[in-house]
Structure 1
Amino acid sequence: MRGNKLHKDTLVIHEGYDDKAHHGSLTTPIYQTSTFSFESAKQGELRFSGEEAGPIYSRLGNPTVHVLEERMKMLENGKGALAFGSGMAAVSTVLVHLTKSGDHILCTRGIYGCTFGLLSIMEEKYNITHDLIRMGTEEEIEKAIKPETVCIYVETPINPTMELVDLHAVVNVAKRHGLKVVVDNTFSSPYLQNPLTIGVDFVLHSATKYINGHGDVIAGLLVGNDKDEMDKIRMSAQKDYGGIISPFDAWLLIRGLKTLPVRMERHTSNAEKLLAYLKNHPLVEQVFYPFDEDNPQYEIAKRQMSAGGGLISFTIKGGRDEAQHFMDSLSLIKIAVSLGDAETLIQHPATMTHSVVPEEKRLAMGITDSLIRLSVGLENADDLLADLAGAFEKMKVTEVNTNI
């Protein structure tokens, strides 16, 4: 049984792998090799010409990597998938593929700090410009499109403000203007959101995060809705640019994907418990979470996501000093700039992940000095709540001592 007869929770364990072709090995083997030998010179000729399928050289394709790509293609309902050595390799690959000198990229007003850095390099070196806008309505998107615009780049939920973008609205505008749409789906994972089914052209992931889920690999993934275009990207990005993933890292992602459904359910249930606590704490000013019923974008979240996921952002009373004091007062929750791990992680975007963004633009994105991003892990929720409560209590003590 394969394809539509099986649920994705099952396919995420089995898709793309036939143990009979690998000596009955239950686990996908790691083909830790740089090259593959041919049975004859003629076979080598046929494979290089594309007339015969089969491995040639691991920069051009590897059996372990192939399993990962097939599994991700299924999860995102795509026609082709490519694995990379980092999430930024996936971002740079698709943007380089879609643009040339003089083109324009329209982006959500909030984007990952290194994506912002890449866009700045593309503008400075290659005159590929970009604009950051809210994308709140179709009219707002339409107004920002220029004659030289070639693609729309979207994060939703946006890192780290958790602001949502209505993908149906973006796709509607893009189709009217013949533009490609790229969505960074890292925060949701393919378990909670599938932008390609809405009409998006490309979906990418920092696979370091939820896809892997164990904090022990750096990787990226790109999935597209056009097989021929994905094959073209493969030949440029991997054959010529060389932005490939190692077989061992691919194997780690295959392992991580097997537990993606159960992990995402636990991340979400824990986040919902912490959300209820943070919303009612007197030292918290605002909380940002997609499936918060008080979130003005809650209806958008319900239309394009199946659950809220494991990320919460919130602002604390005060500024940078108070935010850092709160973080330093935690003991179980780790200060680290990643997400999607088994461990709960916390970071201060203004001075960490988005410190590269100039202050004026950072504030326009909604990234204030009091904003904190919390990646809720798989621990017992009661232990996490106790850690948060202890940190808030230390803040209260400091506040009292300061006022004496």
Structure 2
Amino acid sequence: MRKETKAIHAAMEVANNNPDIVPPVHRSTVYELDKKGRTEGDWHYTRLENPNRVQWEQVLKVMEEGKAAAAFSSGVAAASAVFRALEPDDHIIIPEDVYAGNRKLVNKLMKPWGLQADFIDMTDLQNIADHINKDTKLIWVETPSNPLMSIMDIEAISELAHDNGAIACVDNTWPTPINQMPLKLGADLVVHSTTKYFGGHSDILGGAVIAKEQDERFEKIRLVQRVGGAVPSPDDCWMLARSTRTLPYRMKGHNENATTLARFLQNHPKVEKVFYPGLGTHAGHEIADKQMSGFGGMISFLIDGTADEAIDIVGQSKLIGRATSLGGVESTWEHRRSSEGEGSITPENLIRISVGLEHADDLLEDLEQALSDE
């Protein structure tokens, strides 16, 4: 072989003598076919299949105790796949206090495509029942909701959906499968922004859909994944699978720190109201206690003041980062209304905090100085 050929082929047939303890990253975008040609099930292009994506989807499936999983390049891409697996003129019910990116997805893209949607208060089961019609095919659940921490009864809503020929899909990004198991509570699908707690370090973008059954509905989602092409890179899949190995221990720390901060905020004179399902004063605490094994790392609270005062408090932090998104080992907070845009029902004096894994006393000191009037 000449040098030009050697430069391309020299390393192609070198393999490890022993199996890897940690799976390698497979960056090849194509796979060699058999001499006899391609057969059904053969891998040939990484958009359709990749070893790292298959491994990552296995992790997701096992963690959520589902039968199938599809990984996406973002949480919104995962949500989009669920909606696109429906038909034009199908109707969905979705919480009025839903993640702003999914509200925009439904209003700006899916409604023009033909999807019908009602954004409603889903803490009231009768209100959900009143909005179901003959075209309702999906009830979207987000519990705790973002950012008002509303709690929805997954088991009761799933049963209501099934009684009316619909399915229930739960956005489990905030609780993660460490704190909440929607498929075991009757839901049909679980959606994640794996950017958040699965990634855990604010450096990976991703999303996922996990299904209770590998049925025709899931295969439509898989088709959207492969044909639509919003798939994660091999590197991102590898990083997400790696990060998940510490997820149970990280969530334990998030749960503990958030509980400590929520109790502190509840007793602070500058704070009007705290939204955290682990507090006995939370309107949804009883349901949360029934369906959650931990209450998560997210807190929202209202200050006794204006939007400008809330923005000023966020601006005074020295340790807690001023940023949107959530789920990292570092604590961050934001004036949430500023991030949400059109359709937001978030109070103007609300601050949302993603409680990280710093020492709780350091976080308390930062909160105290930021909330002080000095």
Q: By the TM > 0.5 criterion, same fold?
A: yes
Stretch deviating more after TM superposition (103-112 or 114-123): 114-123
SS state at 1:262 partner: helix
> What is the CA deviation profile of residues 154-209 of structure 1, one whole-angstrom value per residue up to 9, with x for unaligned ones?
11110111111011110121111010111110010111111011111110100000
Counterpart in the other structure of 1:380: 359
Counterpart in the other structure of 2:314: 327
Counterpart in the other structure of 1:16: none
Alignment TM-score, normalising by the size of structure 2: 0.93
Counterpart in the other structure of 2:292: 305
1:104 CA displacement: 1.3
Counterpart in the other structure of 2:9: none
Q: Which runs of 5+ in 2 are unaligned?
A: 1-14
Separation (CA, whole Å) in 2 of partners of 1:379 and 1:230:
42
Separation (CA, whole Å) in 2 of partners of 1:114 and 1:156:
16
Counterpart in the other structure of 1:15: none
> What is the CA deviation profile of residues 292-327 of structure 1, one whole-angstrom value per residue up to 9, with x for unaligned ones?
111121110011110111000000111210100000
8 Å CA contact 1:105–1:149 kept in 2: the answer is yes
8 Å CA contact 2:335–2:350 kept in 1: the answer is yes
Counterpart in the other structure of 2:60: 72
- Is 1:144 equivalent to 2:131 in the alignment? yes
SS state at 2:357 partner: coil
Separation (CA, whole Å) in 2 of partners of 1:231 and 1:108:
23
Q: Which residue, 23, 29, 36 being the options, matches 1:28?
A: 23
1:137 CA displacement: 3.4
Q: Which residue, 31, 35, 45 being the options, matches 1:57?
A: 45
Specify the code of the residue in structure 2 equivalent to 1:57: Y
1:39 CA displacement: 3.2
Counterpart in the other structure of 1:242: 229
Computed over aligned residues only, the root mean square deviation of the Cα atoms, in angstroms, reads: 1.6
Separation (CA, whole Å) in 2 of partners of 1:264 and 1:21:
35
Change (3 A) 1:104 1:217: same
Q: Which residue, 257, 262, 282 being the options, matches 1:270?
A: 257
Separation (CA, whole Å) in 2 of partners of 1:92 and 1:264:
27
Separation (CA, whole Å) in 2 of partners of 1:389 and 1:134:
34
1:103 CA displacement: 1.7
Q: Which residue, 340, 343, 346 being the options, matches 2:333?
A: 346
Separation (CA, whole Å) in 2 of partners of 1:336 and 1:196:
32
Specify the code of the residue in structure 1 equivalent to 2:26: Y
Q: Which runs of 5+ in 1 are unaligned?
A: 1-19, 398-404
Specify the code of the residue in structure 2 equivalent to 1:314: F
Specify the code of the residue in structure 1 equivalent to 2:338: T
Change (3 A) 1:121 1:23: farther
Separation (CA, whole Å) in 2 of partners of 1:315 and 1:160:
11
Q: Which residue, 72, 84, 87 being the options, matches 2:75?
A: 87
8 Å CA contact 1:152–1:174 kept in 2: the answer is yes
8 Å CA contact 1:55–1:63 kept in 2: the answer is no
Specify the code of the residue in structure 1 equivalent to 2:189: F
Stretch deviating more after TM superposition (82-91 or 54-63): 54-63
SS state at 1:227 partner: coil
Change (3 A) 1:21 1:90: farther
SS state at 1:200 partner: coil
Counterpart in the other structure of 2:7: none
User: Which has the larger share of helix?
Assistant: 1
Separation (CA, whole Å) in 2 of partners of 1:248 and 1:267:
26
Alignment TM-score, normalising by the size of structure 1: 0.86
- Is 1:125 equivalent to 2:120 in the alignment? no
1:97 CA displacement: 0.3
Tell me how many residue pairs correspond in the alignment.
Answer: 360
Counterpart in the other structure of 2:35: 40
1:125 CA displacement: 1.7
1:230 CA displacement: 6.2
Change (3 A) 1:250 1:285: same
SS state at 2:237 partner: helix
Separation (CA, whole Å) in 2 of partners of 1:382 and 1:55:
52
Counterpart in the other structure of 1:9: none
Q: Which residue, 102, 108, 112 being the options, matches 1:115?
A: 102
SS state at 2:150 partner: coil
- Is 1:283 equivalent to 2:262 in the alignment? no
Q: Which residue, 361, 370, 373 being the options, matches 1:391?
A: 370
Separation (CA, whole Å) in 1 of partners of 2:290 and 2:193:
23
Specify the code of the residue in structure 1 equivalent to 2:234: P
Counterpart in the other structure of 2:279: 292
Counterpart in the other structure of 1:163: 150
8 Å CA contact 1:80–1:230 kept in 2: the answer is no
1:347 CA displacement: 1.2
Separation (CA, whole Å) in 2 of partners of 1:26 and 1:230:
35
Stretch deviating more after TM superposition (313-322 or 124-133): 124-133
Separation (CA, whole Å) in 2 of partners of 1:147 and 1:230:
19
Counterpart in the other structure of 1:204: 191
Change (3 A) 1:208 1:388: same
8 Å CA contact 1:122–1:128 kept in 2: the answer is no
